[in-house]
């Protein structure tokens, strides 16, 4: 890094102190827009409500889109950092502040070295990744009418791997996900006279237990899937049987056929258990939805090779498929462009290695969405900036490049 390193670290701390929820990232968007203008980018604001896009045109060559997400989570921070969140009940618990700061640094670096490459860089700051709405909102707002179609979409996600490592997984890399809200209906009454009621709590409990059989008995062993009941609520008082109970589910899968099979099984089980209980038809509502995120195999190989050349083999990990979900693939699909999205390590390396040796990674190294999640600033930020620049330069052409758009796919 150049002398820009200290201001970038300060900018990161500022972003961490001021998290904003989905579609309310106005302050963060303002910071990103100001930094892009300072670096010489054409800036378009309020794309998809709060999204920001910067365009740097630098002669003939490929168009490379680099994306960072901006939104935070409704998590009460418990890191003890002196730059902890100042917003009650809101925290950058997924590291999107790292993504924003690293993209600001990378955009500036690419602008400062434009004499070395040719093409167009699009720096995109996306809202509302956590809700799964942000990428589509930008597309629906005419993103690709406002900026050139990219030849490749690049990005990274910080996680609890050792800081300084990077690596992308080819093919299905992040799981597709559905968030499902279920309401079951009964007939309420006095807890002393259960025979006069249809107990929705017992019904909900039966559904929870039966749902656990889907992955074990309806998904092939070689497939990967998750069905989690993350929320269940019912009742107001110990001696009252309520009229309703509600459940909140998340479903994860790496292929569309498996996802469909799981959804069909959930609906069958919920309706079947309601029928057996003599209860009315339940309500099944599909909320957030993320498609399977698929990394382009050729693009992934090309980008990982650039990482190995720049950082050495020991710094390039094979992350495998991640059961978390991402909507960045929507930006690539809408442009019919390859996607390469990699993992960026953010954990203290010494702490990580000690936990790995002790078999305590799950308890000693906080993961994304934890109130304790806190990537170390360095070398996380420096490697995040470098990774974005290296990946972009693997696609951008040398200054003498004269090929036309479309030929990038055959390189």
**Apex 123 CA angle, 385 and 400, nearest 5:** 85
Question: Is 286 in the same domain as 307?
Answer: no
State the pLDDT confidence band at 6, using cuts at 50, 70 and 90. Answer: low
d(C-alpha 93, C-alpha 77), whole Å: 8
Question: Is 309 in the same domain as 247?
Answer: no
Question: Is 104 in the same domain as 89?
Answer: yes
With helix as H, strand as E and coil as C, how does 325-340 read?
A: CCCCHHHHHHHCCCEE
**pLDDT for res 321:** 94
Domain count, the chain: 2
DSSP per-residue string spanning 291-347? PPEEE-HHHHHHHHHHHHHHH-GGGB-----BSS--STHHHHHHHT--EEEEEEEEE
Question: Is 257 in the same domain as 117?
Answer: no
3-state secondary structure of 97: helix
d(C-alpha 65, C-alpha 243), whole Å: 51
Chosen domain end from 262, 290, 318: 290
**Apex 333 CA angle, 331 and 337, nearest 5:** 90
**pLDDT for res 241:** 98
Question: Is 221 in the same domain as 359?
Answer: no
Asked if pLDDT for residue 409 goes beyond 70, the answer is no
d(C-alpha 246, C-alpha 240), whole Å: 16
Chosen domain end from 233, 258, 290: 290
Question: Is 165 in the same domain as 37?
Answer: yes
d(C-alpha 146, C-alpha 243), whole Å: 51
**What CATH number is attached to the domain comprising 221?**
3.30.70.360
The rounded mean pLDDT for the chain is 95
Whether the ω angle into residue 379 lies within 30 degrees of 0, i.e. cis, is: yes
State the pLDDT confidence band at 302, using cuts at 50, 70 and 90. Answer: very high
pLDDT in tens, 162-220: 999 999 999 999 999 999 999 999 999 999 999 999 999 999 999 999 999 999 999 99
Asked if pLDDT for residue 1 goes beyond 90, the answer is no
Residue 364 CB-density burial (10 A; 0-12 exposed, 13-18 middle, 19+ buried) = middle
Contact 380, 158 (CB under 8 A): yes
Question: Is 77 in the same domain as 197?
Answer: no
Question: Is 67 in the same domain as 161?
Answer: yes
d(C-alpha 28, C-alpha 88), whole Å: 17
Determine how β-strand 152-162 pairs with β-strand 63-69.
Answer: parallel
d(C-alpha 71, C-alpha 126), whole Å: 8
Least confident range of 45-49, 159-163, 253-257, 301-305: 253-257
Question: Is 157 in the same domain as 237?
Answer: no
Question: Is 18 in the same domain as 160?
Answer: yes
State the pLDDT confidence band at 5, using cuts at 50, 70 and 90. Answer: low
Which one has a higher pLDDT value, 256 or 68? 68
d(C-alpha 85, C-alpha 96), whole Å: 13
Question: Is 133 in the same domain as 13?
Answer: yes
Dihedral, CA of residue 73, residue 335, residue 45 and residue 1, to nearest 10? 70
- Domain span at residue 274 reads 176-290
**What CATH number is attached to the domain comprising 301?**
3.40.630.10
Tokens matching residue 308: 């190995």
Chosen domain end from 270, 290, 310: 290
Contact 125, 52 (CB under 8 A): yes
3-state secondary structure of 86: coil
What lies within 8 Å, CB to CB, of 203 at 6+ separation is 184, 186, 245, 273, 274, 277, 279
pLDDT in tens, 24-38: 999 999 999 999 999
Instruction: Please state the rounded mean pLDDT for residues 267-284.
Output: 98
Cβ burial 247-286 (10 Å sphere, 16+ → b, else e): bebbbbbbeeebbebbbebbeebbbebbeebebeebebee
Question: Is 116 in the same domain as 196?
Answer: no
**pLDDT for res 3:** 43
Q: In DSSP terms, which residues pair with 179 in a beta bridge?
A: 250
Task: Work out the end-to-end distance of the chain between its first and last CA atoms, rounded to an integer number of angstroms.
Answer: 30
- What is the percentage of the chain residues whose pLDDT exceeds 70? 96
Contact 200, 273 (CB under 8 A): no
**pLDDT for res 24:** 98
Contact 367, 95 (CB under 8 A): no
Strand locations in 88-234 (E):
119-126, 152-162, 166-167, 171-174, 176-185, 189-190, 225-234
């Amino acid at each position: 890094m150049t002398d820009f390193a200290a201001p970038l670290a300060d900018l990161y701390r500022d972003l961490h102190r001021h998290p904003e929820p989905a579609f309310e990232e106005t302050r963060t968007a303002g910071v990103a827009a100001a930094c892009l203008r300072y670096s010489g980018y054409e800036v378009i604001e309020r794309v998809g409500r709060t999204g920001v896009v910067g365009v740097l045109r630098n002669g003939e060559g490929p168009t490379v889109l680099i994306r960072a997400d901006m939104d935070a989570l409704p998590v009460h921070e418990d890191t003890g950092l002196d730059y902890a969140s100042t917003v009650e009940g809101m925290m950058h618990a997924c590291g999107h502040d790292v993504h924003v700061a690293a993209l600001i640094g990378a955009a500036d670096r690419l602008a400062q070295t434009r004499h070395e490459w040719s093409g167009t860089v699009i720096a995109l700051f996306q809202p509302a990744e956590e809700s799964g709405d942000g990428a589509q909102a930008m597309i629906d707002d005419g993103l690709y009418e406002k900026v050139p179609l990219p030849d490749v979409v690049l990005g990274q996600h910080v996680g609890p791997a050792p800081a300084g490592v990077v690596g992308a997984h080819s093919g299905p890399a992040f799981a597709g996900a559905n968030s499902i809200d279920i309401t079951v209906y009964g007939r309420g009454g006095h807890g002393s006279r259960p025979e006069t009621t249809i107990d929705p709590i017992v019904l909900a409990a039966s559904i929870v237990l039966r749902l656990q059989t889907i992955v074990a008995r309806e998904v092939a062993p070689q497939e990967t899937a998750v069905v989690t009941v993350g929320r269940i609520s019912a009742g107001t008082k110990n001696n009252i049987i309520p009229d309703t109970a509600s459940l909140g589910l998340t479903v994860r899968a790496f292929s569309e056929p498996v996802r469909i099979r799981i959804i069909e099984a959930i609906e069958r089980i919920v309706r079947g258990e309601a029928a057996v209980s003599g209860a009315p038809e339940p309500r099944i509502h599909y909320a957030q939805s993320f498609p399977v995120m698929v990394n382009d195999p050729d693009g992934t190989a090309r980008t990982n090779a650039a990482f190995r050349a720049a950082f050495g083999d020991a710094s390039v990990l094979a992350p495998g498929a991640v059961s978390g979900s991402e909507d960045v693939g929507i930006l690539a699909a809408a442009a019919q462009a390859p996607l390469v999205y990699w993992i960026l390590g953010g954990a203290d390396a010494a702490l990580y290695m000690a936990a790995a040796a002790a078999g305590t990674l799950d308890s000693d190294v906080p993961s994304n969405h934890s109130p304790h999640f806190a990537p170390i600033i360095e070398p996380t930020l420096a490697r995040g900036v470098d990774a974005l620049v290296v990946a972009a330069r693997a696609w951008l052409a040398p200054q003498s490049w004269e090929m036309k758009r479309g030929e990038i796919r055959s390189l």
